[in-house]
Amino acid sequence: MGGFDGVEIDVMLTRDGYWVVHHDSVTGRATGRSDGKHFRMSRIKAEQWNSLVVRDKDGQLSQERAPYAIDVFKRWANSYQLGQQLNIEIKQDADIVELNHLLKMARQSLPQGSYFFSSLELDVLKKVRELDSNIYLGYVWEPHSSSIAEVKAVARKATKSDVLYQKYQRQINWVSDYEARKRSRSKSQKYSAKTVREALGLNSGLHVDIRSFVGAPTIYSRSKQAGLAKVVTYSINGSDFHQSQLLALKNMARPLPDQAIMDTSKFEICHRLYPNLASQQVNYQPITELGRVVMSLPNDANFSLLQEQQMYLRDQHYITANGQIRSLKEPAVKPKAAVTQPHQPTTSAVYIPEDEELNLELTPINIEIPN
């Protein structure tokens, strides 16, 4: 019932030319074998890929084989709802023949308008544009240096604790893979909005770390002036931090991004950004149990804990947004109205809230932010 507007997957090429769905540069975390053998994705072949299975949420090897891109495309086509999109992030360089094969699979398997491509590599996206003049392409800026430093700090702590390491392993692997890619480049890859627009055309966008978005007050206006269709934010420091930055932007009367990629429900982010929406009366009849939970909760509830709320509601209680347990019979605490600051010149200082703890329990989703 939390809903999502999209799903992000990472695709890579095997050495013999097959597109597979995988995030890390080495197997072992999300996929594995019973004998514990790992493979480098830059060297793996289809025969070795076929020997891998997916790990479940508890990290145990399942009976599900490691997926090829075509497998995920077919699943998406059978389960997506109108308006949802599959963000296919291309994680490595590929020639135009290999990219044409990927695009052909997507066209044959996925409904038109239900998918798009993104990448850290502008040259890859330029090749995709040669093959398709209409599809949306998102150029991903490298993470902000402070975001990487934050993950490294967590990684140092995680090495002292198996529990912490398992919890933050995805982020740790992400930074390790990113820095390996960066060392192979001869220069920075943060191309300007104007350059992206010239290279990819009108139906393209800039996907930036939320720190970069907050730290550059004119990035949204410059991107729109350049003719980009979207400005999208992401964070490698967790959804709580990402949401806190969006809330700070709103309170400063700064433009919000067109979309935000984060691991949370739409209810949680909308509750934090637009709390009054939860109190509006609408002609809506929930058809699921979690939908009924949402409609039963007061405005000050934590909408990210719907399963837990379901248990508390049976006893006429609920969990508030600040973590307290409150009776439904008590008057709900009205959220404080956000204080809108006068519009500041682009040279004014930007307030950046303190980093919050990473939360990696959920799968990434793409959320539309109301204007």
At 268 the pLDDT is 73
Question: CB within 8 A of 347, min separation 6: which ones?
Answer: none
At 2 the pLDDT is 44
d(CA 136, CA 206): 11
At 219 the pLDDT is 96
Indicate the pTM of the whole model: 0.74
Other residues' Cβ atoms within 10 Å of the Cβ of residue 86? 22
At 332 the pLDDT is 52
d(CA 83, CA 317): 35
- Could you tell me how many residues make up the chain? 371
Other residues' Cβ atoms within 10 Å of the Cβ of residue 187? 5
Give the type of residue at 221.
S
Contacts of range 279-288, beta carbons closer than 8 Å, 24 or more positions apart: 286/1, 288/1
Average pLDDT per 10 consecutive residues for the chain, totaling 371 residues: 76 96 89 92 95 89 95 93 92 95 97 94 97 97 89 68 56 60 58 96 97 96 97 91 94 95 78 69 63 80 80 88 82 49 43 43 54 54
Cα-based angle 91, 63, 37 (whole degrees, multiple of 5)? 60
